[in-house]
Structure 1
């Protein structure tokens, strides 16, 4: 069960993002999925501000499907976020494959 919103509101989005990774390491998949949804629904602004970091890290863990889908949808709408990024040439293989395999760019 997801911790109450007031509990999560006391923490920064960066903490919640790191918590998602930790919950998957401890095989708490349901909690991790709920935390991903919390980030997408309540912290989308923060996700956009740190898009390159989020994009890179979420494709390093195949369990982060919700965040991967969110990132892929952003890239489909704004491909220059990736192409114009200074980090484009250092993207993780999974992130790059996901990006170039899309039909809707």
Structure 2
């Protein structure tokens, strides 16, 4: 199994605050996202990822987010196997201290 690149919640927060344009994908369920997500993240549930591969561009890197980083890591493994550039936000929304909407 290949290693999944990661990013910490603090690193991500700093990059967003610096104005970096990052591609964030929240893979939690609808009811979880309803309690708040990172403002620039798009929401594609974990189970809907295989049907939405057309959304992803193999030339871009995507940062995946879930509640604790377990599901997002599974999504990263799956997409990495398909040849996509991925990064997992370690700690998930449980550790996120930045803005939410």
Q: Normalising by structure 1, what TM-score?
A: 0.28
| TM-score normalised over the length of structure 2 | 0.29
Higher relative contact order (CA 8 A, sep 6+): 2
Is the helix fraction higher in 1 or 2?
1
